[in-house]
Structure 1
Amino acid sequence: MGMDDKIKNAAQDLAGKGKEAVGKATDNERLEAEGDKDQAEAKVKKVGEDVKDTFR
């Protein structure tokens, strides 16, 4: 994976953290769950990148 993908994943993680924080502040469970999901997806993608980098 290239640097572009790493930047996109970091942005997705930050967006997820933002959604989660806003969801908690406004007591919006749906938005909070969306934020958790975005963060989890970003983490899974990062693990995939790390595995690929290991085999290079």
Structure 2
Amino acid sequence: MKNPKKLKRKHKIFLSKQGCNPDDFLIVTEDYDSYTFYNKVTKVVWNPIRR
């Protein structure tokens, strides 16, 4: 796993629309059509989510 990074504004908006708290997440990868997030609370890498 790559080192998770802090979220940018567009990631926070995306997670808010998904019904998640952006403060609990870090971004692992950002592809042209998907995001992969790391949950700091549960310490789990989420499967890629399509934009």
Length-normalised TM-score, structure 2: 0.27
Higher relative contact order by CA 8 Å / sep ≥ 6: 1 or 2? 1
**TM-score, normalised to structure 1's length?**
0.25
Radius of gyration: which is bigger?
1
Structure showing the higher strand proportion among its residues: 2
**Structure 1 or 2: more helix by fraction:** 1
